[in-house]
Structure 1
Amino acid sequence: MTLTLKQIKDYPKLDPKQVNSEYAKTYEAFKHKIVVLDDDPTGVQTVHSVSVYTDWEKETIERGFQEDNQIFFILTNSRAFSAQKTEEVHRTIAQRVKEAAASFNQPFLIISRGDSTLRGHYPLETDVMRQELGEMDGEVILPFFEQGGRLTIDNVHYVQQGEELIPAGETEFAGDRTFGYQASDLTEWVEEKTEGAYKAEDVTTITLESIRSFAIDEIEAQLLAVKDFQKVVVNAIEEQDVRVFSIALMKAIQKGKTYLYRTAATFTKVIGNVSTRELLTRGELIQKDSVNGGLVVIGSHVKKTTEQLEALMELDAPVFIQFNSHLVLKKSSFTEEVARVKKEAEDAIASGVTAVIYTRRERLDLGEGMKEEELALSVEISLALTNIVRTLAVTPNYVIAKGGITSSDVGTNGLQVKRAIVKGQVAPGIPVWETDEGSTFPHIPYVIFPGNVGQIETLKEVVELLEQKQIN
């Protein structure tokens, strides 16, 4: 059933002072290192001043454990992987995290940060890690992400569209060819995705009523009762709801309970005790202006991205270059197409004009039963785009990548970032990395723009902000 934003205003309000005071007191005793595995680079949508590593070598994970920060991110980009590769990667990471934790005598949490619209390799990722880490009492499922309009009410997960809240199972995201689903009620979604291994009626649910009544002891008792990797669904419509739940969670952890986590970006901010900061200004983003133009790479095919691209095209300044990605089926033609796009982008950037490279808006469709093949081709297309970035003969003033797989490949293969610092957000839910010294273009702002985030005008507004030098 569709809701409106007005319909959710009736829940009792929390007292921020009470919540924050209890949270601060509880957090003092919480000493776990928090390792976030990000299935695409958009999971840092809510944090700042934290590290993102783009590999999971033993030395990298040890470096994360040695940081002063309590939380660090590892970008796996597993949403672009086959199921087999996803399993191999998560098995390796879980083993190495477990070894590092033992070496440093450090308790830890692993969070599988997934898409707030419920796409990705679930339950595979957390199942594999559970096998490596040992028995876990429960798994917390918390896809709430306010900046993207993803709210969970009465166990139903919603996606905001304008003033309406649409059940997730009725959105385009549920129709994803690789990670589709039907259920909007998260208890039923668990049963659907686990193919009945965990029944909807056995899922523990943390209600908004108990959260808004600040029933910490009641929520803690629910968590203490969880066993045998039982699923825990958390309802939330504001960040403070997540904070209340986290108080009870930390108390349960202090009493010896163990959990894995499949959550969206808000939980990582809250459990990592990352402060809220204002949106980044242009001065914070671009430290030193260049005479060159910027670069925007658009690969996502969701409806919102296409609408945002159309709005961006209202600007006169950028040069728009369509990449005929369907030529991936004809290798020689595809090679020629990559060379053409690269040359046009270089010419634009060198002349002080921002280049916008975008893939054809029609999704490549090979027909039924070809999910893995389509995913492999999408990865090949994304790698071609990132090779363009990596081999550019001119340094752009900034880089924006639109879409999860695209932004991961641009960051790791194109910009060749090994460790980035998250500067913050340029718009709600849109994070910015500062590239490291060894990257293709050191110390430029890299804007990671999720495919399914923002309003129609948001991409245009971000480009306008970064182009203020030229506009003014």
Structure 2
Amino acid sequence: MDNPFSEARNDKTLIIREHGDPLGFSCWVGRIDDSAVVKVYETLTGVKVEGKPHALNKESVLRSLPPEWPTDTINDIISLTQKSSKTLVVLDDDPTGTQTVHDIDVLTEWRIESLVAQFRKKPKCFFILTNSRAISSEKASALITEICRNLSAASKTVENTDYTVVLRGDSTLRADAAISEIGEVDVWIICPFFLQGGRYTIGDIHYVADSETLIPAGETEFAKDASFGYKSSNLREWVEEKTSGRIPASSIASISIQLLRKGGPGAVCELLCSLKKAELKGKSFLCRSAASFVSARVGIIPKAPLLPSDLRISRKVVGGLIVVGSYVPKTTKQVEELLLQRGHALKQIEVSVDKIALKSVEEREEEINHTAEVADVYIKSGKDTLIMTSRQLVVGKTASESLEINFKVSSALVEIVRRISTRPRYILAKGGITSSDLATKALGAKQAKVVGQAMAGVPLWQLGPESRHPGVPYIVFPGNVGDNKAVAEVVKRWARPGRLSTKELLLNAENGGYAVGAFNVYNLEGVEAVVAAAEEQDSPAILQVPITVHFDHGSVKQELLEILELAHEFIDATGIDALAVCVGNVHGKYPASGPNLRLDLLKECIKLGVRKFNVNTEVRRAYMDSLTNTQKDLVHVMQSAKEAMKAVVAEKMQLFGSAGKAH
């Protein structure tokens, strides 16, 4: 990729792609894309809307479209991807572009050494987070030029390395057209289709779905963005608007949904190859896409949203951290719903935008420091903590002034999170710029793994080993995704589970085919030992203290049989959590002569339905044995006793099969 960017030419051809099967189009790209630079900006199209676009009923419109192309092309795409050594490099203007992928790396910096390391892995795809939406178009152009030069240099260092570049942009069109950023290409393909977010293009008009209504993008709150606002919903006119008329709408072609769904990949290929300068040899396509194109392009099959249990997240008592910087009305409504549903379980801290963006340096510092200190206390105490900017929108007189205010707000949030010393259980960042700055500047992440999504359209990362909190789940929640309940739903899923009753604990064991250890405890060290072992083993446990009411030791055989026969009736009538049937119980320390426990029979008991085992003597013996070293200080004695008991408890959890079952 020598000289990847030059002055853009005015004779460039632009293609608007309409709503249809994105996989069909992607299959075509995989077959004939040999260009050095490819950038995709995806779009859907279909029913022609004359004059100023109006809101439409989504179900009616989609029902009126031609049937989808009958063949699922995903297997073709996967096959082509496996045969090709070319890597798809996605330049993402904020972290939300990873909304549809999983098991993909994200780089937050683009040093040549880092790119070389990535190319050596021979991945089918990786992302580079540019965060270019947070800076001026001039700076963004220079930034992308630098990245592409580094990509070119890195690719030449690694043998047999070839790559294609895609520019991922906002599905609600909040960006510059960036036509001047890239030169020497024959065809632009613009496609902001994003299925999970409800972004459709029909008849060249780009729509944002709000429940069952398709609203023209130019009529939405996103079009009123102080930095990247626009008026046109028609994508042809949007390009003309964003290029200040340099590329007129009349010069832009579009691929209709009829062609996509009736002609399929072959018809699309034929149309594009007939365009001026799009010869089979030496052609170059520049594509700008939203999130859906990338997963289709590399043949990624979607998977269900992930939960903490899927990542084996530790059940430590610290709280989660939720940071809201996005100021769009959708976010405000989502925060209101979050507080309505989860306010009782959240600690809320509001950061004054007036103080951090418009007041003195001293007032800004005081607000930042106070917020960080309070949040740290809350998280350490186990409370999920919400840090949010004040909801009143503050804008400048010009787009550049508004960007400056955005920068001050974002940098304040960065400093707040940077000063929070406690590692949160998880982090949720609301808003593209907010999530980018927190990941890179506050948490020091230079790379991350996209493990999946927390919900449809909401990326879930695990931060790299160089970050402040290696491996911490990082939920990148776009400002423009989800209904009013979306944030509340994710926070609820990621909340620490409430306390289970003994009955619920044992029912979980029944369903999971394991047993739960019930450990007798007599002092604080015993409690800490069991809890520490449970966290380490990710295991449920029962703490038994000598204050329960306990009836046992039947004396007549007939009574024992009657109790078994009436067990269900007895439980229903009394409302007790569980009825423990004691079988083969032996108290105290076993003598050397026996009896001896056979652990193989214990496991057979678990298979037959025993769900609770009492553990006492071995833990007490471990405690006493640890006290034989009299040379220790009292603090060391207590710690040693705790560790000795914890080892016994952990061994029993492994034996009972409950390790890893704390969910």
Q: What is the TM-score of this pair, normalised by structure 2?
A: 0.64
CA gap of 1:283–1:138, structure 2 versus 1, over 3 A, is same
Among 389, 393, 396, the alignment partner of 1:363 is 393
Among 338, 345, 350, the alignment partner of 1:312 is 338
Secondary structure (helix, strand or coil) at the match of 1:407 reads helix
Secondary structure (helix, strand or coil) at the match of 2:393 reads coil
CA gap of 1:90–1:198, structure 2 versus 1, over 3 A, is same
| Rounded Cα–Cα distance in structure 2 between residues aligned with 1:300 and 1:471 | 34
Among 377, 383, 390, the alignment partner of 2:405 is 377
Among 112, 120, 127, the alignment partner of 1:73 is 127
Query: How many angstroms does 1:12 deviate by?
Result: 2.8
Among 432, 435, 453, the alignment partner of 2:460 is 432
Q: Does 1:161 align with 2:210?
A: yes
1:224 maps to a residue whose letter is: C
| Rounded Cα–Cα distance in structure 2 between residues aligned with 1:19 and 1:107 | 24
1:6-56 CA distance string (max 9 Å, x none)? 221122333554534544555455442211111110000000000000001
Query: How many angstroms does 1:4 deviate by?
Result: 1.1
Secondary structure (helix, strand or coil) at the match of 1:313 reads helix
For 2:49, the equivalent position in structure 1 comes to: none
2:373 maps to a residue whose letter is: K
For 1:302, the equivalent position in structure 2 comes to: 328
For 1:277, the equivalent position in structure 2 comes to: 303
Q: Which runs of 4+ in 1 moved over 6 A?
A: none
CA gap of 1:13–1:401, structure 2 versus 1, over 3 A, is same
Secondary structure (helix, strand or coil) at the match of 2:448 reads strand
For 1:324, the equivalent position in structure 2 comes to: 352
1:9 maps to a residue whose letter is: R
1:112 maps to a residue whose letter is: L
CA gap of 1:441–1:28, structure 2 versus 1, over 3 A, is closer
Q: How does 1:396-435 map to 2 (within 5 A)?
A: 396-435=424-463
1:166 maps to a residue whose letter is: I
CA gap of 1:167–1:350, structure 2 versus 1, over 3 A, is same
1:265-302 CA distance string (max 9 Å, x none)? 00111112222111112202452121111100000011
Among 113, 124, 128, the alignment partner of 2:181 is 128
Are the counterparts in 1 of residues 113 and 154 from structure 2 also a CA contact under 8 Å? no
Query: How many angstroms does 1:336 deviate by?
Result: 0.4
| Rounded Cα–Cα distance in structure 2 between residues aligned with 1:13 and 1:28 | 29
Are the counterparts in 1 of residues 81 and 298 from structure 2 also a CA contact under 8 Å? no
For 2:292, the equivalent position in structure 1 comes to: 266
Q: Does 1:290 align with 2:316?
A: yes
2:199 maps to a residue whose letter is: R
1:4 maps to a residue whose letter is: N
2:314 maps to a residue whose letter is: K
For 1:442, the equivalent position in structure 2 comes to: 470
Query: How many angstroms does 1:158 deviate by?
Result: 0.3
| Rounded Cα–Cα distance in structure 1 between residues aligned with 2:437 and 2:499 | 30
Q: How does 1:205-244 map to 2 (within 5 A)?
A: 205-227=254-276
Q: Percent identity?
A: 38
1:342-371 CA distance string (max 9 Å, x none)? 11111111111011000011111232xx22
Are the counterparts in 2 of residues 390 and 414 from structure 1 also a CA contact under 8 Å? yes
For 1:240, the equivalent position in structure 2 comes to: none
For 1:61, the equivalent position in structure 2 comes to: 115
| Rounded Cα–Cα distance in structure 2 between residues aligned with 1:185 and 1:416 | 40
For 1:87, the equivalent position in structure 2 comes to: 141
Q: Note the residue ranges of structure 1 that are not aligned, 5 or more in a row.
A: 231-251
Query: How many angstroms does 1:424 deviate by?
Result: 0.2
Are the counterparts in 2 of residues 94 and 129 from structure 1 also a CA contact under 8 Å? no
1:354 maps to a residue whose letter is: D
Secondary structure (helix, strand or coil) at the match of 1:358 reads strand
For 2:538, the equivalent position in structure 1 comes to: none
Q: Note the residue ranges of structure 2 that are not aligned, 5 or more in a row.
A: 1-53, 501-663
For 1:106, the equivalent position in structure 2 comes to: 161
Query: How many angstroms does 1:105 deviate by?
Result: 4.4
Are the counterparts in 1 of residues 88 and 164 from structure 2 also a CA contact under 8 Å? yes
2:388 maps to a residue whose letter is: Y
1:107-139 CA distance string (max 9 Å, x none)? 32211111000012322xx53233xxxx21111
Among 481, 489, 510, the alignment partner of 1:461 is 489
Worse-matched range after superposition: 324-333 or 297-306? 324-333
**Number of residues paired by the alignment?**
441
Q: What is the TM-score of this pair, normalised by structure 1?
A: 0.89
Secondary structure (helix, strand or coil) at the match of 1:118 reads coil
1:121 maps to a residue whose letter is: D
| Rounded Cα–Cα distance in structure 2 between residues aligned with 1:200 and 1:185 | 9
Worse-matched range after superposition: 285-294 or 426-435? 285-294
Query: How many angstroms does 1:255 deviate by?
Result: 5.4
CA gap of 1:366–1:189, structure 2 versus 1, over 3 A, is closer
| Rounded Cα–Cα distance in structure 2 between residues aligned with 1:342 and 1:28 | 48
CA gap of 1:281–1:115, structure 2 versus 1, over 3 A, is same
- The alignment's C-alpha RMSD in Å is 1.9
Are the counterparts in 2 of residues 307 and 456 from structure 1 also a CA contact under 8 Å? yes
Bigger CA radius of gyration:
2
